[in-house]
Amino acid sequence: MDAIHEPTHGARLTIDLAAVAENWRRLAAEAPGGRCAAVVKADGYGCGLAHVAPALWSAGCRTFFVAHLSEALAARAILPDAVIYILNGLLPGLGPTLIAHDLRPVLGGQDELAEWAHLSDTAGQRHPAALHVDTGMNRLGVSVAEALALAGDPIVERAGIALLMTHLVSAELSGDPVNARQMADFARIRSAYPGIPGSFANSSGIFLGPDAHHDLLRPGYALFGGNPTPWKPNPMRPVLRLEAEIAQVREVAAGETCGYNGRWRAAEPRRLATLSMGYADGYPRAASGRGAALVGGVRCPILGLISMDLIILDVTDAPEAARGGRATLIGDGLDVDTVGRAAGTIGYEILTGLGSRYVRHYVTGHDA
| Of the candidates 142, 89, 137, 134, the residue with the CA atom closest to the CA atom of residue 116 | 89
The answer to whether 257 and 330 have CB atoms below 8 angstroms apart is: no
Could you say which of 85, 260, 358, 362 is catalytic? 260
Give residues with Cβ within 8 angstroms of 139, minimum separation 6. Answer: 167
Asked if 41 is an active-site residue, the reply is yes
Which of 41, 193, 279, 283 is catalytic? The answer is 41
Phi, psi of 62 (to 5 degrees): -125, -10
| 365 vs 343: CA distance, rounded Å | 29
232 noted as active-site residue: no
Residues noted as catalytic: 41, 260
